A and B are shown apart, each in its own frame.
Chain A
Amino acid sequence: MFELFGVSAGLLGLFVAFGVLIGILFGFFGMGGSFLVTPALLVMGYPSRVAVGSGLAFVFGTSVIATLKHRDLGQVDYKLGVSMIIGTTVGLEVGKEIVLYLETLGLAGNIISVTYVLLLGGIGLFVTYEALNRGDGDSDGGVSHDVDADADIDADDIPEIAKKIQSYSLPPMITLRGGIQVSLWMVLLVAFVTGLLSGFLGVGGGFIRMPALFYLIGVPVPIAVGTDLFEIMFSGGIGSFLYAQSGGVDLSIVVPLLAGSALGARVGSAATSIVNEDEIKIYFGLMLLLGALAVAVRQAGDYLGMGVLDYVSLALILGSALMVSGAVLYSAVKSIRAPASAGSMAD
Chain B
Amino acid sequence: MFGIETLTGNVQAAVLVGIVLTEAMVLYVGYGAMTRALGPSVKKAIGGE
Contacts and interface: CB of A to CB of B under 8 A. Distances in A.
A345 B13 contact: no
B28 A245 contact: no
Given A5-B1, A6-B1, A245-B13, A262 B27 contact: yes
B10 A258 contact: no
Interface of A: 5-6, 57-58, 60-62, 64-65, 68-69, 237, 240-242, 244-245, 249, 251-252, 254-255, 258-259, 262-263, 266, 270, 333, 336-337, 342, 345, 347
B24 A61 contact: yes
B31 A336 contact: no
Chain A interface SS verdict (over half) = helix
Nearest to A252: B1
Size category, B interface: 20 to 34
A241 B17 contact: yes
A62 B20 CA distance: 9
Interface of B: 1-2, 9-10, 12-14, 16-17, 19-21, 23-25, 27-28, 31-32, 35, 39, 43, 46-48
A262 B17 contact: no
Given A241-B14, A244-B13, A266-B31, A65 B24 contact: yes
B25 to A, nearest CB: 7
Nearest to A239: B17
A251 B19 contact: yes
A62 B21 CA distance: 9
Contact of A254 (B14, B20, B39): B20
A235 to B, nearest CB: 13
B31 A263 contact: yes
Contact of A244 (B1, B2, B16, B21): B16
Contacts of A64: 21, 24-25, 28
A118 B29 CA distance: 40
Contact of A333 (B10, B16, B46): B46
